[in-house]
Amino acid sequence: MPIALHVAASIPLFKDFDEATLAKVAGLMSSRSYLSHDIVMRKGEIADSLGFLLNGKLQVVDLSEEGREIGIHFILPGAYFGELSVIDGQPRSASVISVKLSEVAFLPSNHARDLIFHHPLIAKRLMTHFAQIVRAASNQRTLLSIPNAFQRVFAQLQTFVRESKDGQVIEGLPKQHEIAIMVNTSRETVSRAIHTLMKMNVLEKKGTILIVKRPEKLKQVATVGMDEGENNKT
Amino acid sequence: MPIALHVAASIPLFKDFDEATLAKVAGLMSSRSYLSHDIVMRKGEIADSLGFLLNGKLQVVDLSEEGREIGIHFILPGAYFGELSVIDGQPRSASVISVKLSEVAFLPSNHARDLIFHHPLIAKRLMTHFAQIVRAASNQRTLLSIPNAFQRVFAQLQTFVRESKDGQVIEGLPKQHEIAIMVNTSRETVSRAIHTLMKMNVLEKKGTILIVKRPEKLKQVATVGMDEGENNKT
């Protein structure tokens, strides 16, 4: 099913496009619906298109060597995905599955490449996005070099902190075993580290959100670790 | 000192540029020499230029939270560097130092951005480069999720393997403590893992190069681990 002009206009990557370009792009795209657990893109396949999530929710998943599923991140409405293979022509680096009823628009690879390399606006947006990913990967490498596992958990938690109207919060905290993989420790250590911060009144659980009650303290334990005596289990 | 047309022409990022564009770019660039240990770019500074190493050798370095130096990677002649800040306008993510007498050419940020976003050839090259970095970061995350430390070392070694005229080899192996940081284990574990592979005749040291004598075996221990009994210390 081709997509309507106003739908294309709602995609952030196309923001500020003139109407003629937008109409042309919309005419090249097609959309499809996916039920929960459907596979939208499959790791190892050759890229035939760039995807855009119109509504619903997707997850990028990869399998570890032992076949365990590693949930990399979620794709939310408005986002594009599958750009790596469109750009470099290599097979898909991960699979994408739908986690609920979702509608996805696709732009064929050859047209996507035209758009990506020939439109300065798009080139800039994609490269800025890549720059953020590369910076995050670099920060993660620095974080992983912290020898103390508790401090690695604290530093990882610090990266999740966002400003909200209620002050600093952590929303959508990944599962403990996911954090454990990110910072290379056991789930038990993640659990103990978070519990320690709650005991110290640095974090407070409020429904699905963690309130950072003492932002300065979290920053301190993330950057220089915990004082002797604050927690003698580290 | 401005740079000569033939010097600009030798920079891989500018390959296949027409002479007029190349002459214009060369006229906008300037070059500088650095002695060993000089700082070429400083973490946290605002980007004023995109760098190109003409000759010599540079190293991208970052500091861990405790002030330990983390050598990220080397920059070899022909390569560009400092592109993240030029693209996203954020401060430099790491410092760059010269490790021997080096000559660097700089293109001011505003001209570099013009080039990056408005030349499809350059946009494509930069994005392909970013795609490789993002894929490598994603593979590294998968690697780090391997629970067994020995196997993580094997998987990391596997990523260093290159084809050469002598078959599969590992050239420029990072130091053991650097590999230890990459795969989040101790230097001693890295040492034991490499030693085990040598005992099994999978690897053989030849000067500064490691010859992969049994590529299939390395692949096997990297992907499914070592059989019980092959090494009872794991």
Q: Is B96 exposed, middle or buried (0-12, 13-18, 19+ CB in 10 A)?
A: buried
Q: What is the mean pLDDT of residues B73-101?
A: 92
Sequence-ordered list of residues with C-beta below 8 angstroms from that of B50, at least 6 positions apart, any chain: B80, B81, B82, B83, B86, B106, B107, B109, B112, B116
Q: How far is A19 from chain B (nearest CA, A)?
A: 21
Cα–Cα distances in angstroms (integers) from residue A19 to residues A11, A23, A27, A169, B164, in the given order: 13, 6, 12, 40, 53
Which structure tokens are listed for A146? 């912290």
H-only helix segments in chain B: 5-9, 19-28, 83-88, 109-118, 120-144, 149-160, 176-183, 187-199, 215-223
Sequence-ordered list of residues with C-beta below 8 angstroms from that of B115, at least 6 positions apart, any chain: B25, B107, B122
DSSP chain A: -B--HHHHHT-GGGTT--HHHHHHHHHH-EEEEE-TT-EEE-TTPPP-EEEEEEES-EEEEEE-TTS-EEEEEEE-TT-EE-HHHHHH-PPPSSEEEESSSEEEEEEEHHHHHHHHHH-HHHHHHHHHHHHHHHHHHHHHHHHHT-S-HHHHHHHHHHHH-EEETTEEEE-SPPPHHHHHHHHTS-HHHHHHHHHHHHHTTSEEEETTEEEES-HHHHHHHHHT-PPTTT-TT-
Q: Are B105 and B54 in contact (CB under 8 A)?
A: yes
Clarify whether residues B12 and B66 are in a common domain: yes
Bridge partner list, A170 = A210
Q: How far is B155 from chain A (nearest CA, A)?
A: 10
How many Å apart are CA A65 and CA B10, to the nearest integer? 41
Clarify whether residues B112 and B34 are in a common domain: yes
pLDDT at B179: 86
Contacts 24+ apart (CB under 8 A), A214-218: A215/A161, A215/A167, A215/A168, A218/A154, A218/A157, A218/A158, A218/A161
pLDDT at A233: 44
More confident residue, B106 or A225: B106
**Among all chains, which residue has been given the structure tokens 């996507």?**
A112
How many Å apart are CA A125 and CA A36, to the nearest integer? 30
Q: Is the residue at B190 inside a domain?
A: yes
Q: Mind listing the pLDDT tens digit for each residue in B162-205?
A: 999 889 999 888 888 878 877 878 899 999 999 999 999 999 99
Query: For A151-164, b where at least 16 C-beta lie within 10 A, e where not — what string?
Result: bbbbbbbbeebeee
More confident residue, B142 or A30: A30
| Domains held by chain B: number | 2
- Nearest residue of A to residue B60 by CA position? A138
pLDDT at B232: 46
Q: Is the residue at B231 inside a domain?
A: no
pLDDT at B9: 94
pLDDT at B39: 94
Pick among A119, A138, A183 to test the B interface (most B CBs inside 10 A)? A138
**Among all chains, which residue has been given the structure tokens 């092959």?**
B230
How many Å apart are CA B50 and CA B46, to the nearest integer? 12
Binning pLDDT at 50, 70 and 90, where does residue B65 land?
low
Contact A65 B93 (CB under 8 A): no
When CB atoms are compared, the residue of B90, B151, B181 closest to A144 is: B181
Clarify whether residues B72 and B163 are in a common domain: no
When CB atoms are compared, the residue of B62, B84, B223 closest to A142 is: B62
Number of A:B CB contacts under 8 A?
135
Q: What is the mean pLDDT of residues B220-224?
A: 89
A interface toward B at CB cutoff 8 Å? Answer: 62, 64-66, 68, 70, 72, 83-84, 87-88, 90, 93-94, 116-118, 120, 123-124, 126-128, 130-135, 137-138, 140-142, 144-146, 151, 155, 181-182, 184, 222-224
Contact A117 B138 (CB under 8 A): no
pLDDT at B72: 65
**Among all chains, which residue has been given the structure tokens 């430099």?**
B92
* Phi, psi torsion values for B43, nearest 5 degrees: -50, 135
Point out the residues of chain A with pLDDT beneath 50: 232-234
Q: Are B229 and B196 in contact (CB under 8 A)?
A: no
pLDDT at A142: 78
Q: Residue by residue, what is the 3-state secondary structure of B53-118?
A: EEECCEEEEEECCCCCEEEEEEECCCCEECHHHHHHCCCCCCEEEECCCEEEEEEEHHHHHHHHHH
Q: Which of B200, B191, B205, B233 is nearest to B218 (CA)?
A: B200
Q: Is the residue at A61 inside a domain?
A: yes
Domain at B86, CATH number: 2.60.120.10
Which structure tokens are listed for A203? 């974090």
Final residue in a domain of this structure, among A137, A157, A177: A137
Final residue in a domain of this structure, among A137, A162, A190: A137
Q: How far is B154 from chain A (nearest CA, A)?
A: 12
Clarify whether residues A113 and A13 are in a common domain: yes
Domain of B205 in residue numbering reads as 146-223
Q: Is the residue at B132 inside a domain?
A: no
Domain at B203, CATH number: 1.10.10.10
Which structure tokens are listed for B209? 């190069």
pLDDT at A184: 78
Contact B141 A70 (CB under 8 A): yes
Q: Is the residue at B137 inside a domain?
A: no
Q: Is the residue at A188 inside a domain?
A: yes
pLDDT at A231: 54
- Does residue B218 have a pLDDT over 90? yes
The interface pTM score, or ipTM, of the predicted complex is 0.77
Q: Is the residue at B141 inside a domain?
A: no
> Half-sphere exposure of A63 toward its Cβ, with a 13 Å CA cutoff?
11
3-state secondary structure of B40: strand
* Phi, psi torsion values for B171, nearest 5 degrees: -105, 150
**Type of residue at A21:** T
Q: Is the residue at A231 inside a domain?
A: no
pLDDT at A230: 63
Clarify whether residues B177 and B96 are in a common domain: no
Contact B134 A131 (CB under 8 A): no
Clarify whether residues A79 and A172 are in a common domain: no
Which structure tokens are listed for A101? 């009823």
Length of chain B: 234
pLDDT at B233: 44
Contact A64 B142 (CB under 8 A): yes
- Does residue B25 have a pLDDT over 70? yes
pLDDT at B67: 62
DSSP character for B213? Answer: S
Q: How far is B96 from chain A (nearest CA, A)?
A: 14
Q: How far is A144 from chain B (nearest CA, A)?
A: 7
**Type of residue at A33:** S
